[in-house]
Amino acid sequence: MQTLWLNKGEDRRLRAGHLWIFGNEVDGKRSPLSAFTPGEAVTVRDARGGVIGSAFVNPHSLICARLYSRTPDTELDADLLRQRLQVALTLRTRLFDRPFYRLCHGEGDLLPGLIIDRFEDHLTLQLGTAGMESRRHLIADCLEDLLHPASLLWDNDLASRSLEGLSRENILDGPVPRRLELPENGCTFTAPLLDGQKTGWFYDQRANRQEAARYAAGTDVLDIFCYAGGFGATAAARGARSVTFLDASPQAVELAGANAARNAPRLADGDAIQTLCGDAFDLLRELHDSGRRFSLICLDPPAFIKRRKDAAQGLAAYRKINALALQLLSPGGVIASCSCSHHLPADELRHCLGQAAARQKTALRLLFAGGQGPDHPVHAAMPETAYLKCFIAQRAD
C-alpha cells in the first residue's frame, strides 16, 4: 500500500477519533494526491511517520481520504466488510423485532460512505464515496452471504457522488418493487421504494414520530413536508380528529392520505383527511389567511443547509418556516419541529422556535428533544454524524 503523509499537526483530530482527511491536511510533496487512484487503499502516517491507520483515497474530493481502520496496510476487503456488516446487523436485530431499519449508517458503523436501508428482503444502498463504489461487488457478495436479499437498489442519485466523480445513474439488481409495505410504531405504511425520496423511507424519524403521536388524541393535525405521511398517519392512528398533509410532491400527498386512511379508517369518510400540494411557504400563508388553526403541527423540512457556505440563507429559511408554522398553532397546541441539516446546531433550531414564539407574543415549553434513531448511530468523535434534531414544544398561553 502507498502512504498518505499528513502535514505537521494535522493528526490531532484523527487521533481523537475523526475519520475524515481533507486535502489541505496532506503533505503534497511527500505524497502528491495526483499519485493516487480514486478508491485506492492507503496507509496514513503523521509527519513523523507515526501510523494513523488505513483509509481509501479520492484525490478529486475535498474529503480526500476516509479512515476505516486504525491499523496500517489493512485492506477494506471482503473479510473486513463482512465483519463490519455482521456487527451492524447484530445491533439492529437487538433493536427491532422485524427487519425494517437502517442496516448500515456510514461512519457510525465504521464504513464511511456506505448507507444501507433494509425493507425485509429488499435493500436500498447508497455508495457516497469512490472507495465504496470500487468495492460495490464485494458489498453485494457480503450481503448475499448475510441476508440473501431478493433485490438490491443502488440509489446513486446523490450530490456527493458528483463530488466524488461518480455516476448518478441508479442500478437495479433483482426485482425491486415500486412500492412496498413496512411496519412502524404499530402502523403499516406504503412507501415508494423505487421512485421515492432518498432510500424510500425515513427510518431516522421513527422515535420522533412515536413521541409526537403522544399528543395526537382529539387534535387537528398539520403535517408539513409530509412525504408519505409518517408523522400525520401515526397521529391519526393515535386518535387525531383530523389530519392535513402538505407537500410539494403529488405522489407524497397521495401516499400520505392513503396511509392515514389505512391506519385510521374512522377518518376515511368526509373531510377528516385533507391533502395540499404545493410550496410549503405559500400554502402556510394561505392557511393562516383563511383562519385555519391546528392543535398538533409536525414540521419536517428538507435540509435547507446542505453546505456550510449556505448557512446564512438556510438559517433564514428555518426561521421563516418555523414562524409560519407557529402562526397556525392554536393556544395549548403542540409543535414538533425538525431539521436534518448537520450544519444547523440544535441550539439554533431551538432559537428559531423561541424567536417565532416571541413574535407571536406567546411562549413555548419544551417537552422533548430528540435526534436520529439508534439504527443511525452517531460516531462519538464526529459531530457531523449527529445530523437530525427534533424539538417538541407546547404553546404555553
Are the beta carbons of 143 and 127 closer than 8 angstroms?
no
> Strands 2-5 and 151-154, how do they pair?
unpaired
Are the beta carbons of 55 and 32 closer than 8 angstroms?
no
CA angle, corner 294, sides to 257 and 216, nearest 5?
70
Are the beta carbons of 222 and 240 closer than 8 angstroms?
no
Cα–Cα distances in Å, from 43 out to 2, 23, 53, 67, 292? 6, 15, 6, 9, 61
**Known catalytic residue at 340:** yes
Closest CA to 319 of 357, 353, 362: 353
Phi-psi region of 229 (alpha: psi -120 to 50; beta: other; left: phi over 0): left
**DSSP H/E element including 327:** helix 311-327
Across the beta sheet with 242-247, what order do the strands follow?
A: 273-277, 242-247, 220-224, 294-299, 329-339, 389-395, 364-370
**DSSP H/E element including 104:** strand 100-105
Diameter over CA atoms, the chain: 73
Q: How far apart are the C-alpha atoms of 106 and 128, rounded to whole Å?
A: 9
Q: Which single residue is written with the C-alpha cell 432559537?
A: 351
Q: Which of 187, 340, 352, 390 is catalytic?
A: 340
Are the beta carbons of 357 and 363 closer than 8 angstroms?
yes
In one-letter notation, the amino acid at residue 251 is Q
Closest CA to 128 of 70, 72, 58, 80: 58
| Coil vs helix vs strand at 140 | helix
CA angle, corner 265, sides to 263 and 267, nearest 5?
105
Positions annotated as catalytic residues are: 340
